[in-house]
Amino acid sequence: MNSQRTKTPRRRGELIELLFAQKATSLGFQVCKPVCDESYDFILDGGRRLWRVQVKSSDRLRKGGYLIGACHFATHNTKQPYTAAEIDILAAYIVPERAWYILPIEAFAPQQWLSFYPQNKHSQGRFEPYREAWSLMQ
């Protein structure tokens, strides 16, 4: 993911979504991509239920952590936090660490900005229990 063409946010987002689909498929999930513009990027079938998943990523370390926006643009170009009416899971990928965080909406809503510290081996960060927590959707 180091080529110049992956530097735009849209291109990086598309590549991260492909990584997500590959990882989820390799774990046995049925992965569906909505054809219309929704608040979520994928629908995953984990066997018991369907999950609406929004995929986000970060590649920049800021003040010791990686920042992910748990929000979307709403009317008048304002950012609004995701709600349980829009998504079930936020899948956050920290690019340099190759780390996935699988966060149920209840773990972070209504926060708009989330910090992750996967580079710290003994991190007690709030979201560490959700690192690679794919089993939450099975």
Would you kindly state where each structural domain of the chain is located, as residue ranges? 4-137
Q: Measuring CA to CA, how many Å separate 27 from each of 23, 32, 55?
A: 6, 14, 17
Q: Categorize the per-residue pLDDT at 29 as very low, low, confident or very high, splitting at 50, 70 and 90.
A: very high
pLDDT tens by residue, 68-116: 999 988 777 888 999 999 999 999 999 999 999 999 999 999 999 999 9
Confidence check: pLDDT of 1 > 60? no
| Three-state DSSP string of 35-104 | CCCCCCCEEEECCCCEEEEEEEEECCEECCEEEEECEEECHHHCEEECCCCCCCEEEEEECCCCEEEEEE
Query: Hey, how many other C-beta atoms are within 10 angstroms of the C-beta on 15?
Result: 16
Q: What is the pLDDT of residue 70?
A: 95
Class of domain 4-137: alpha beta
Give the number of other Cβ atoms within 10 Å of residue 24's Cβ: 24
pLDDT band at residue 123 under the 50/70/90 scheme: confident
Residue 4 scores a pLDDT above 70: no
- The residue with tokens 């998504």 is 87
Q: Is the pLDDT assigned to residue 15 strictly greater than 90?
A: yes
Six-digit token string for 38: 């929704």
Neighbours of 77 (CB within 10 A): 6
CB contact burial 31-54 (16+ within 10 A = b; e otherwise): eeeeeeeeebbbbbebeeeebbbb
pLDDT at 125: 86
Amino acid identity of residue 65, one-letter, is G
CA dihedral of residues 34, 77, 80, 85 (deg, nearest 10): -40
